[in-house]
A and B are shown apart, each in its own frame.
Chain A
Amino acid sequence: MFNLEQIAPATFKVPMEGGMKVPGLIIATEELMKEIEIEKPLEQVKNVAHLPGIVNYSIAMPDIHWGYGFPIGGVAATSIEGGVVSPGGVGYDINCGVRLATCPINLQEISEDIKAQLIQKIFDLVPSGVGRELKGVGGLSLQDYQNIAEKGVAWSIEHGYGLPEDVEHIESHGFIEGASIDVVSELAKKRGSKQLGTIGSGNHFLEIGEIEHIFLPEIAEKWNIQKGHLYLLVHTGSRGFGHQICQDTLQKFLKAGFAEGLPDKQLVAAPIQSEPGKEYLQAMAMAANFAFNNRSRILQAIRKAFKEVLNMPEKDVRLLYDVCHNIAKFEEHKVNGKTEKLCVHRKGATRAFGPGAKELASIFQQTGQPVLVPGDMMRSSHIMAGMGNPLTWSSSCHGAGRAKSRHESMKNWKGTDLVTHMRKKGVLVLATSSRTIAEEMPDAYKDVDHVVGAVEKAGLAKKVARLKPAMVIKG
């Protein structure tokens, strides 16, 4: 199919053609490839392979679907010397990511009435949806932005919007170095000003459910994951702030002619060592730190809700991990037997460092890092453990991946009372817009079980636990 050559389990090589500098690599099972519209994203995998300085492969994860320039689920590493950084390889929502916490309480022990109170409390405390922002909070000042740049998530934690022990459970300890607010436009600052601590709309969500099944008890025990316990997932990113940084950069790069010679102008990329390239990386780091703060504040608001409704101490809402799935990071990897520093773009892909990775906190050095894979709002989500596979620069999938367009999903569900429908399926849904629920219905997504199956087969990450959603807040 599409001239792909299987080189390992669930791993297919896309041969080089035209101006491709490296081959492509698709992580998927044959069954999964039949389920997805592979043609257009595959074209994008080939396009990415044209980037100057790309190393080894242009890679796609099994949740691949069409994106801007890069496919969603795309991974590419570029050399520091002679390589480029592409905002299209990061995505508009810089450091969009997922944060998962667990609580030592069985979901089934909570009455339906209390569940309803809990979700409503969280809905009140965590703004979600279009134009909803925190009430009674002033916008971010320039000093606040500078603090975010210099401290990352520690800034929120210092102000009580997070617990000190959270830091070790956040990718890069919640801080991307090199951030600068000086390179960020006034419009971006204005857009982000009142969005810290908010979910937003689109596919962002907040989910509470039950740990349904444990695949790897040893790792689960180390991570304090128990069958039947309650978990909560937060999926959001850098909101309008990150989007504006991406837009500003795309415009700047396009004007500078950085798209010349590339098959798609949305791949526009500047040399890492150039001034525009450096400025983008500074701004991107700024947005990444903004997103870490955003998710921290949201989790703290959830802790407040748990305390008020369930009388649960804050520390019992334990952060397992916070991962980025839209980012470019400098990492050391082996290239032809030598350790090299590379710029790894992960767009709709999660870092999946294996056991022993230096950056990880000691608990994860033994097990590999948690890889969080949300599915849809009904079937399941997954916790996996990274295996540090060098073929994908230690990367894994980030979710189920869309199977249907928003438009199609809207049409399919028009006229249905979706809240009632979902309640009958055992999921309590709250949203500011019924349109969002329709666009995000479970059948708009691939079955995440198939996606994580491919990831495991390819040796990128292994399944630790499957999660079952019970309450969902959408924008």
Chain B
Amino acid sequence: MFFFLIPSIMTLEKEYSRVFLGAKVIAPWPEDLPGGKIIQENYRHITLVFLGEIEKKVVESTLRQFPLPKFSIGLTGQFTKVLFLPPKHSHVVAYEAKFYEEKPFLFYQKQVMGWLKVENIKVKNSSRQFYPHVTIARGNFEKQEWEKAFQKLPFYMDSINLYESLGNSNYEVLHTHSPFAPFEEIQHTADIAFIVRGHTIQDLHRAAETALAFKSPGLVNYFKEEITCHSIDEVIADLNEHVAHADSEIGCSFKAVSFHGDLQENKQGILEWEMIIDV
């Protein structure tokens, strides 16, 4: 009996992977976080769908072909509050993720669910409402400490990944799709500089303010819900208004966005703007 059981477990380990699809997010994460088992920054993600144990050959042949989103630039948003999940007997600390444009992300999540159905891949708890959040810590923690330490943070979606969960909050990326980053810091001897990307002036504005908030997170509290700019000069004036108010009330690690840079269109038809900031 014993002789036959061992090979059968070994076979199971080889043939199944614990997998899920998720969107990796980048944020100016605080260096010091309250207690609990902290998830490594590189592993922080919004789970799109948790699949559980899936046969490896299905992972290889099917799941690696996951549908790609329609958006070609990583979406931006804010972490707006700290969550303790599940509400009763919480063992997870998470940040609620609010995208500035929620529809494309929600649509993509539905698209993924629909595709899994077509591929006949069962999803556990498929009826559960999708609630974008990022797990930050697990295990024992003090809710009050986390609530006290929480501050709104900007984020952007870096990539859509097929992850394998290796246990103990370690993950391996099995397949990835990376849209263009909404902004990218570049070398410039004049203080701080970014390439900011978008399809419209409004996109550029969101991407630019997110970039600024990566340098000075308190700025997120000064962002407006609605953007009414129609030119880069208007975007600069608007961003400078945020900076000025933040500087006078809470301090800001830079002083102004300069009136620099023309709009360029890259080969993929995406608008790019070189934003230079005076420190």
Among residues 65 to 92 in chain A, which have CB atoms less than 8 Å away from a CB atom of chain B? 65-68, 72, 92
Alpha-carbon distance between A415 and B279 when the two chains are bound, in angstroms: 23
Contact call A266/B189, Cβ cutoff below 8 A:
no
| Minimum CB distance partner of B278 in chain A | A92
Contact call A407/B192, Cβ cutoff below 8 A:
yes
Contact call A403/B279, Cβ cutoff below 8 A:
no
Interface segment, A4-12, A97-105, A238-246, A376-384? A238-246
Interface size on A, residues (CB 8 A): 38
Contact call B279/A202, Cβ cutoff below 8 A:
yes
Contact call A254/B253, Cβ cutoff below 8 A:
no
Contact call B260/A37, Cβ cutoff below 8 A:
no
Contact call A407/B185, Cβ cutoff below 8 A:
yes
Contact call A37/B259, Cβ cutoff below 8 A:
no
Chain B residues within 8 Å of A405, by CB:
187-189, 193
Pick from A193, A254, A407: contact of B248, CB under 8 Å: A193
Alpha-carbon distance between A33 and B235 when the two chains are bound, in angstroms: 36
Alpha-carbon distance between A182 and B249 when the two chains are bound, in angstroms: 23
Q: Kindly provide the distance from the CB of A145 to the nearest chain B CB, expressed in whole angstroms.
A: 15
Mark contacts of B32-43 with chain A using CB atoms, 8 A cut-off: 1 yes-contact digit, 0 otherwise: 000000000000
Contact call A92/B255, Cβ cutoff below 8 A:
yes
Chain A residues within 8 Å of B278, by CB:
68, 92-93, 243
Among residues 249 to 271 in chain A, which have CB atoms less than 8 Å away from a CB atom of chain B? 250-251, 254, 265-266, 268
Pick from A131, A254, A266, A407: contact of B260, CB under 8 Å: A266
Contact call B187/A408, Cβ cutoff below 8 A:
yes
Alpha-carbon distance between A65 and B253 when the two chains are bound, in angstroms: 21
Chain B residues within 8 Å of A190, by CB:
248
Mark contacts of B63-84 with chain A using CB atoms, 8 A cut-off: 1 yes-contact digit, 0 otherwise: 0000000000000000000000
- Chain B CB within 10 Å, residue with most, of A129, A131, A250: A131
Among residues 189 to 211 in chain B, which have CB atoms less than 8 Å away from a CB atom of chain A? 189-193
Among residues 89 to 130 in chain A, which have CB atoms less than 8 Å away from a CB atom of chain B? 92-93, 129-130
Q: Kindly provide the distance from the CB of B158 to the nearest chain A CB, expressed in whole angstroms.
A: 18
Chain A residues within 8 Å of B216, by CB:
130
Contact call A130/B252, Cβ cutoff below 8 A:
yes
Mark contacts of B230-250 with chain A using CB atoms, 8 A cut-off: 1 yes-contact digit, 0 otherwise: 000100010011001101101
Q: CB of A227 within 8 A of chain B?
A: no
Q: CB of A224 within 8 A of chain B?
A: no
Contact call A191/B248, Cβ cutoff below 8 A:
yes
Contact call A254/B233, Cβ cutoff below 8 A:
yes
Alpha-carbon distance between A250 and B237 when the two chains are bound, in angstroms: 10
Q: CB of A201 within 8 A of chain B?
A: yes
Q: CB of B276 within 8 A of chain A?
A: yes
Alpha-carbon distance between A417 and B96 when the two chains are bound, in angstroms: 34
Q: Kindly provide the distance from the CB of B63 to the nearest chain A CB, expressed in whole angstroms.
A: 35
Q: Kindly provide the distance from the CB of B30 to the nearest chain A CB, expressed in whole angstroms.
A: 13
Chain A residues within 8 Å of B241, by CB:
187
| Minimum CB distance partner of A192 in chain B | B248
Given contacts A68-B276, A254-B233, contact A403 B248 (CB under 8 A): no
Mark contacts of A364-376 with chain B using CB atoms, 8 A cut-off: 1 yes-contact digit, 0 otherwise: 0000000000000
Contact call A240/B244, Cβ cutoff below 8 A:
yes
Pick from A72, A193, A265: contact of B259, CB under 8 Å: A265
Contact call B189/A402, Cβ cutoff below 8 A:
yes
Chain A residues within 8 Å of B256, by CB:
92, 243, 246-247
Chain B residues within 8 Å of A72, by CB:
190
| Minimum CB distance partner of B194 in chain A | A407
Given contacts A66-B188, A130-B253, A243-B278, contact A266 B244 (CB under 8 A): no
Given contacts A247-B244, A254-B259, contact A201 B189 (CB under 8 A): no
Chain B residues within 8 Å of A243, by CB:
244, 247, 255-256, 278
Contact call A131/B192, Cβ cutoff below 8 A:
no
Q: CB of A203 within 8 A of chain B?
A: yes
| Minimum CB distance partner of B251 in chain A | A131
12 intermolecular pairs with C-beta atoms under 8 Å apart: A66-B188, A66-B189, A92-B255, A92-B258, A187-B245, A191-B244, A193-B248, A240-B248, A254-B259, A403-B189, A405-B188, A408-B187
Known: A68-B276, A130-B251, A132-B251. 13 other contacts (CB 8 A): A65-B189, A66-B190, A68-B260, A129-B251, A191-B244, A202-B254, A202-B279, A246-B256, A251-B233, A266-B259, A402-B190, A405-B188, A433-B253
Interface residues of B (CB under 8 A from A): 185-193, 216, 233, 237, 240-241, 244-245, 247-248, 250-256, 258-260, 276, 278-279
Interface residues of A (CB under 8 A from B): 37, 65-68, 72, 92-93, 129-132, 187, 190-191, 193, 201-203, 240, 243-244, 246-247, 250-251, 254, 265-266, 268, 402-408, 433
